[in-house]
Structure 1
Amino acid sequence: MRKLGKQEIEDIAVGAALLGTGGGGDPYIGKLMALQAIEEYGEITLLNVDEVPDDAVVVPSAMMGAPTVMLEKAPSGEEAITAFKNLESYLGKEIFATMPIEAGGLNSMLPLALAARLGLPVVDVDGMGRAFPELQMVTFYLDGISATPMVIADEKGNTSVISTINNVWTERIARAATIEMGGTVMTAIYPMTGKNLKDSGISGILKVEEELGKAIRLAKQNNADPIKEAMKIVGGFELFRGKVADINRKTETGFARGVATFEGINEFKGETLEVSFQNEHLLAQTEQRLLCVTPDLIAVLDAETGLPITTEGIRYGARCVVVGIPCHPKWRTEKGIETVGPKYFGYDVEYVPVEELVKKGETVK
């Protein structure tokens, strides 16, 4: 157990946005919400997963919807509290703690802000080790844990309790409701026990996010390469350097979908990279080479600062570095690939681990 203060929040926000692979909500909005909550209610208690009793109830808090919508509809924080309290009432049990469902700018910060306001601890665990666009894309689903009952709440005061036959149906029904409620909602989802967390969660995610953010911050202060320092922590690879030549982005069916095109610079001059995304970056390839593919992580970083750029933040002319990071081993199982591999998203490529692509020389770093 330890306390999280303002500097920890600043570092976690940067690391979470990097692991969020372009998605997970606006990191700036999420950071401000968490910092304000700490200012008003004090530091946040962070628990290791082994400090949670086996029979305790833990509920993740998260945003659902298209990140692009948040540019015009920022959450107030009340939506998250409403969803959380309604689910606690529905369960008829006291909730022991909250946690992030994924790594992401907002979705790693939202549980911290909620915890500060409600006086609850946060557990250092999540269900992805990165961000994915759909509700069933968590390690809890791989182990048969139900996403429901769940509650969604919007900024107007609308709430809905959802109970479904399986987690794929949870995604379909909740996504349709989210679109009707304005494109984004706050959720309280995957209520589970401490034992569930220990068996199925990805432990230590907030610690890794904090280490990433700290490494980038200190590298800039010490005139070191922030991208290289960050990649040391996660075993990642620099895949491409280029400037944004085109961005084709639209919001449809509750997701931000599109393709970002990069013209190579330096040793990559003459090559063109396309990064395809659905909230999160899912596929990076040139005309000749597959560089990285889901479920491995693809992040777009500012070439000068090393700071992560979200899918809604990619701008024409920006100079960027695209990196690839190996995913958690749970995603490389047969069910993991079936759930979040390239075929699920409609890409006609086979999954190859990023380190194998690098080793084969299909990427140059």
Structure 2
Amino acid sequence: MANVPRIMKLGSDGLEVSAQGLGCMGMSAFYGPPKPDDEMIQLIHHAIKSGVTFLDTSDVYGPYTNETLIGKALKGGMRERVVLATKFGIVLGDEKKAEGKREVRGDAAYVRAACEASLKRLDVDCIDLYYQHRVDTRVPIEITVGELKKLVEEGKIKYIGLSEASASTIRRAHAVHPITAVQLEWSLWSRDVEEEIIPTCRELGIGIVAYSPLGRGFLSSGPKLLEEMSNGDYRKHLPRFQAENLEQNKKLYERICQMAAKKGCTPSQLALAWVHHQGNDVFPIPGTTKIENFNQNVGALSVNLSSEDMAELESIGSANAVQGDRYIPGMNTYKNSETPPLSAWKAKSGLEQMSR
């Protein structure tokens, strides 16, 4: 393939990954029914052979089945060729008993148990990059990262990451152990992280991993994406895909299409190229379940954007260009990721112990 992603440093702790990664969530969860294992393994192998060797999964994808799928795909010598990233922290409740309610956990015992379980499902000895998927607002981030630090020292994980964490949470975490990467939603239709989180990561030398760089598929297909969604696709419930917001968001997509036509690329390649052009510390991880879409995504690496192109895209994806929130109310994001001060938490824990 002509567009082989180069290997670049993610963060400042020594980890090196392909400039573009592969998000594996949609293979097993959330975007409709799980796809056949054999087809997804073929796609993963194609990605690795194409030079995209940064694979992203999580224990909650499935739940659990995506990690098992990745484990199967990495058999036969493939493990040594990839940087494997997974996540912990989101616990899904029993759908019958708790209506699918989710909980976020970051206590030390859970961190350790989740890591051990992921190692088994992935069938590996060590996880390259282990993220806290969402921040537990009941547990000081120092406690969570303190346990992750022990896992690094034990050789069970190599590098630590956070996902959807606020700037202050990132700073507190980084003071306990170097944070290699922060994963966040960043695209032409999700830009609020640029105000505080991106500058914080850059100040601390933390790599930036951009998930949903294609706006959950909207920047690839526009409104017709909704017609192709199955009943179980959770994107149908997201505010930006609702009828009252769709007309406004359609304008953003149409402007991207017009510019892509002038550039001689697809809308998705243009949107993805914009993320790549944010800097050498930014690593988008577009997901897909189709080899042809994967090839198109990799093609974004050869789309060159001039300063004039970037200025035009800045105006297309301006703050008021998108209507609707990223998530439904109550979902954990960086905006509600603050955790209790360690000293107060320790004092409270001590009082609770004494009162027993």
Greater percentage in strand: 1
TM-score for both structures, normalised by structure 2: 0.28
Greater percentage in helix: 2
